[in-house]
């Protein structure tokens, strides 16, 4: 292979970012878009219109990618956090919201069961998933688990507006009998 001439630019392939780096970039982008949206005037309107146009073009490219890909490649794309997220944001994810919520809760259930916890979908409203979480006697604090559940569901199903966590109710109520009731002597029945 010939070396590039001194005046030719050297083009390097882009580096593939891991999921954490992508999340960081998305957070920065969201902040920038929020700032742009808060600015009054025609320049911010033009900027937001341009961003929406670029997003529409990328959405069309994703549609074509899904159409051209073999089923096995589509399955791998759906398993990728970033690609799945983008497909959902563009409203072209081939799996239903119900299917994606069920899948992520299955993954969480496996992780929580080792700690004595459970996670179940109580209901799925149009834009809100209500998730019932029960925690075992040991393991991470409840707030951390609730945050993890909320984040995992919102990442897998970004078109949801919220994930509401509710505590799991006990399915087997323990009857409480006061000790003094057990200690009372029962009078024998009276003769008739």
12 belongs to a structural domain: no
Residue 149 sits in the same domain as residue 114: yes
177 belongs to a structural domain: no
* Residue reference for tokens 């549609």: 63
4 belongs to a structural domain: no
- Output the pLDDT for position 24: 87
Q: Structural domain of residue 102, as residue ranges?
A: 97-167
**Cα–Cα nearest to 154, from 91, 80, 97, 83:** 97
**Cα–Cα nearest to 118, from 76, 84, 176, 166:** 166
Residue 101 sits in the same domain as residue 84: no
Query: For 106-142, what is each residue's pLDDT tens digit?
Result: 988 888 887 778 889 999 988 899 999 887 655 556 6
The enclosing domain of 158 has a CATH number of 3.30.300.130
Q: Render each residue's pLDDT in the chain as its tens digit; 192 residues.
A: 566 666 777 777 778 888 888 888 888 988 898 899 999 999 989 999 999 999 999 999 999 999 999 999 999 998 888 898 889 888 899 999 999 999 999 988 888 887 778 889 999 988 899 999 887 655 556 678 888 888 889 888 888 899 999 887 644 444 444 444 444 444 455 555
Residue 106 sits in the same domain as residue 130: yes
C-alpha 28/C-alpha 23 separation (Å) is 9
Residue 130 sits in the same domain as residue 146: yes
61 belongs to a structural domain: yes
Residue 115 sits in the same domain as residue 142: yes
131 belongs to a structural domain: yes
Residue 133 sits in the same domain as residue 106: yes
Decide if 153 contacts 129 (C-beta within 8 A): yes
160 belongs to a structural domain: yes
Residue 103 sits in the same domain as residue 72: no
Residue 81 sits in the same domain as residue 121: no
Residue 161 sits in the same domain as residue 102: yes
Residue 72 sits in the same domain as residue 132: no
C-alpha 150/C-alpha 164 separation (Å) is 8
Instruction: State how many domains the chain has.
Output: 2
Decide if 62 contacts 87 (C-beta within 8 A): yes
16 belongs to a structural domain: no
Domain closes at, from 89, 111, 126: 89
Residue 111 sits in the same domain as residue 159: yes
Residue 107 sits in the same domain as residue 84: no
111 belongs to a structural domain: yes
């Amino acid at each position: 292979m010939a070396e590039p001439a001194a005046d030719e630019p050297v083009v390097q392939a882009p580096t593939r970012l891991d999921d954490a780096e992508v999340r960081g970039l998305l957070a920065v982008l969201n902040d920038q878009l929020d700032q742009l949206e808060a600015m009054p005037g025609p320049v911010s309107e033009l900027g937001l219109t341009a961003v929406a146009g670029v997003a529409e073009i990328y959405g069309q490219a994703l549609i074509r990618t899904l159409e051209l890909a073999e089923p096995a490649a589509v399955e791998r794309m759906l398993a990728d956090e970033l690609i799945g997220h983008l497909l959902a944001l563009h409203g072209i994810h081939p799996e239903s919201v119900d299917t994606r919520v069920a899948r992520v809760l299955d993954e969480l259930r496996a992780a929580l069961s080792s700690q004595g916890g459970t996670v179940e979908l109580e209901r799925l409203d149009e834009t809100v998933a209500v998730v019932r979480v029960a925690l075992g006697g040991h393991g991470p604090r409840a707030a951390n688990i609730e945050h993890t559940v909320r984040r995992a569901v919102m990442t897998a199903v970004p078109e949801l507006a919220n994930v509401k966590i509710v505590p799991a109710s006990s399915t087997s109520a323990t009857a409480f009998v006061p000790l003094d009731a057990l200690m009372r002597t029962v009078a024998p029945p009276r003769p008739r």
